[in-house]
Amino acid sequence: TDLEVTHWWTSGGEAAAVGELAKAFDATGNHWVDGAIAGSGGTARPIMISRITGGDPMGATQFNHGRQAEELVQAGLMRDLTDIATKEKWTEIVRPKSLLDSCTIDGKIYCVPVNIHSWQWLWLSNEAFEKAGVAVPKDWNEFVAAAPALEKAGIVPLAVGGQPWQASGAFDVLLAAVGGKDTFLKVYQDKDAAFAAGPEIGKVFKAADDARKMSKGTNVQDWNQATNMVITGKAGGQIMGDWAQGEFQVAGKVAGKDYSCLPGLGLNPMIATGGDAFYFPLLKDEAKSKAQEALATTLLDPKTQVAFNLKKGSLPVRGDVDLNAANDCMKKGLDILAKGNVMPWTDQLMSQDTQKQKEDLFSEFFSNQGLTVEDAQKRFADIVSSAD
């Protein structure tokens, strides 16, 4: 049966990864009809939602796991996967467990997580530090200390692209790394505004202040332009998710030799379990509903997981798969994952609305040196207080 699957994975590596999913699905005797829409969730989501509410739903669709599809589920437009999940014991195979939690609404499972993307990486250019005559830092604090030397050598210490989500992401990483997991959860999960206004978070803001000072002179917009600065040694480092790795690879750089990566900024090696998941709209067509089940099964199949995640550069959602082909940095991630040092990420904890407000704040904070640390923290606390 033909099943249309919409997603926003369109770049080379992503498409190849999707190809693996499609191959596996086609092997079940069904046919994967590809409906790719590029441009991140903001572009693709209204399209998907229109399709679903317009009465012309696709067979399956990608969302970030987390709370993006909550309302569609509540509107009864999405399919309940609990039966399949129990049958195939997803609760046992999916790791970390929190992933499946974000698919669960009112005790029912509505989505299939397929990968884990983590944000908390600091990518460093070995060449840049060589040029500045300092050793490649081992953690954030060393990095901050090395900044003046880098600057002297005409190198931007920290590349932060102009798009708001980069600034906001950088702060979240700092929060998790400098403050630690509990602090992170207290703010984002418990939404403790008083705490957010407190001295603990003040420290994080101090670090963010360092970061923004170090990022001065990053005259690029796109994250990959920023990554490119690191690759070419124009910048010392960049706080970016694991997807940045692809850029280094394409440029022919070797992890550990040309560049270094510090998960959790080297302070607090943790992996956040953000990532992607597939949702299945409720279909009337019997045959298609069957095909949906087949797809759900395929997505979590170990072989598919390996093939998919290797191409995608993300981590698999099953602990029982073997990833020998992974590179240095990826292995570091797998290690952490294996140790169970995981935490939920903002997508899972907060609504998009709150995240957007946060983005607005931090993009302003990073670009506008005039916005004091204190003011910023106050506004941050306000956002936390009204967060949902």
Partner 1 sequence: MILTAVVVFAGGTAWTVLYSFTNSKLLPRFSFVGLDQYYRLWAAPRWGVAVENLAIYGVLSLIFSLAIGFLLAALLDQKIRFEDTFRTIFLYPFALSFIVTGLVWQWLLNPDFGVQAVVRGLGWESFTFNPLYDASIVIYGILIAALWQGTGLVMCLMLAGLRGIDEDIWKAARVDGIPMWKTYLFIVIPMMRPVFITTIVIIASGIIKVYDLVVAQTSGGPGIASEVPAKYVYDYMFFAQNLGQGFAASTMMLLSVIIVVVPWAYLEFGRARRG
Partner 2 sequence: MAPAATATRIETGPRGAKPRKTFSRRNIFLYGTLIVVAVYYLLPLYVMVVTSLKGMPEIRLGNIFSPPVEITFEPWVKAWSQACTGLNCDGLSRGFWNSVRITVPSVILSIALASINGYALANWRFKGADLFFTILIVGAFIPYQVMIYPIVILLREIGLYGSLWGLVIVHSIFGMPILTLLFRNYFTSVPEELFKAARVDGAGFWGIYFRIMLPMSLPIFVVAIILQVTGIWNDFLFGVVYTRPDTYPMTVQLNNIVNSVQGVKEYNVNMAATILTGLVPLIVYFASGKLFVRGIAAGAVKG
**Which residues would be at the binding site for partner 2 (CB under 8 A)?**
4, 7-15, 18-19, 22, 32-40, 43, 46-47, 50-51, 53-56, 222, 224, 228, 231-232, 243, 246-247, 250-251
Cβ proximity to partner 1: between 222 and 335 the closer is: 222
Cβ atoms of 303 and 116 closer than 8 Å? no
Binding to partner 1, residues 25-84 (CB under 8 A) = 41-43, 45-46, 49, 53, 68-72, 75
Cβ proximity to partner 2: between 135 and 250 the closer is: 250
Build a one-symbol-per-residue string for 236-275: x at contacts with partner 1 by CB under 8 A, - elsewhere.
----------------------------------------
C-beta of 250: minimal distance to partner 2 in Å?
5
C-beta of 100: minimal distance to partner 1 in Å?
21
201's CB contacts (< 8 A; 6+ apart) are 175, 179, 183, 187, 195, 377, 380, 381
- Tell me how far CA of residue 201 lies from CA of 177, 195, 318, in angstroms: 12, 7, 34
In DSSP notation, 86-97 reads HHHTHHHHBSST
* Residue 366 in the binding site for partner 1 (CB under 8 A): yes
Stretch in the footprint of partner 1 (CB under 8 A) among 187-195, 263-271, 338-346, 360-368: 360-368
Q: Of 114, 29, 115, 111, give the one whose Cα is nearest residue 69.
A: 111
Q: Which does residue 384 touch among partner 1, partner 2, none (CB within 5 to 8 A, set by kind)?
A: none
Number of Cβ within a 10 Å radius of residue 26: 12
Which residue among 273, 292, 304, 363 contacts partner 1 (CB under 8 A)?
A: 363
C-beta of 77: minimal distance to partner 1 in Å?
9
212's CB contacts (< 8 A; 6+ apart) are 160, 365, 366, 367, 369
84's CB contacts (< 8 A; 6+ apart) are 90, 293, 296, 297
Q: Is 57 exposed, middle or buried (0-12, 13-18, 19+ CB in 10 A)?
A: buried
C-beta of 353: minimal distance to partner 1 in Å?
4
* Residue 219 in the binding site for partner 1 (CB under 8 A): yes
Q: Which does residue 34 touch among partner 2, partner 1, none (CB within 5 to 8 A, set by kind)?
A: partner 2
Q: Which does residue 10 touch among partner 1, partner 2, none (CB within 5 to 8 A, set by kind)?
A: partner 2
Q: Which does residue 193 touch among partner 2, partner 1, none (CB within 5 to 8 A, set by kind)?
A: none
Cβ atoms of 337 and 116 closer than 8 Å? yes
Which residue among 6, 309, 314, 355 contacts partner 1 (CB under 8 A)?
A: 355
Max Cα–Cα distance, the chain, nearest Å: 67
Q: Which does residue 68 touch among partner 2, partner 1, none (CB within 5 to 8 A, set by kind)?
A: partner 1
| CA distance between the termini of the chain | 40
Number of Cβ within a 10 Å radius of residue 339: 11
**Phi (first) and psi of residue 272, to 5 degrees:** -90, 145
C-beta of 216: minimal distance to partner 1 in Å?
10
Structure tokens at 324: 């020998």
Handedness of CA 162, 166, 167, 170 (dihedral sign): negative
Contact residues: partner 1, CB under 8 A: 41-43, 45-46, 49, 53, 68-72, 75, 162-164, 219-221, 234, 351-353, 355-357, 360, 363-368, 371
